[in-house]
Amino acid sequence: MADYTGPLPVPSPETKPFWDAARRHELALPFCRPCGAFFYYPRGACPRCLSPDLDWRAVSGRGTLHTFTVVHRGQKGFPLGVPYVIAVVELEEGPRMMTNLVGITPDPSAIRIGMPVEVTFLDATPGATLPHFRPVGSAS
What residues make contact with Zn ion under the rule CB under 5 A? 32, 34-35, 46, 48-49, 51
CB proximity list for 36: less than 8 A, separation 6 or greater: none
In the complex with Zn ion, the residue whose CB is nearer, 36 or 126, is 36
Q: Does the N-terminal peptide bond of residue 41 adopt cis geometry, omega within 30 degrees of 0? A: yes
In the bound complex, what is the minimum distance in angstroms from residue 38's beta carbon to Zn ion? 10
Q: What share of the chain is helix, strand, coil (3-state, %, to 5)?
A: 10, 40, 55
In the bound complex, what is the minimum distance in angstroms from residue 30's beta carbon to Zn ion? 10
In the bound complex, what is the minimum distance in angstroms from residue 18's beta carbon to Zn ion? 18
In the complex with Zn ion, the residue whose CB is nearer, 21 or 32, is 32
In the complex with Zn ion, the residue whose CB is nearer, 34 or 116, is 34
In the bound complex, what is the minimum distance in angstroms from residue 55's beta carbon to Zn ion? 11
Q: Is the dihedral of CA 63, 64, 66, 72 positive or negative?
A: positive
In the complex with Zn ion, the residue whose CB is nearer, 30 or 135, is 30
* H-helix or E-strand spanning residue 50: none
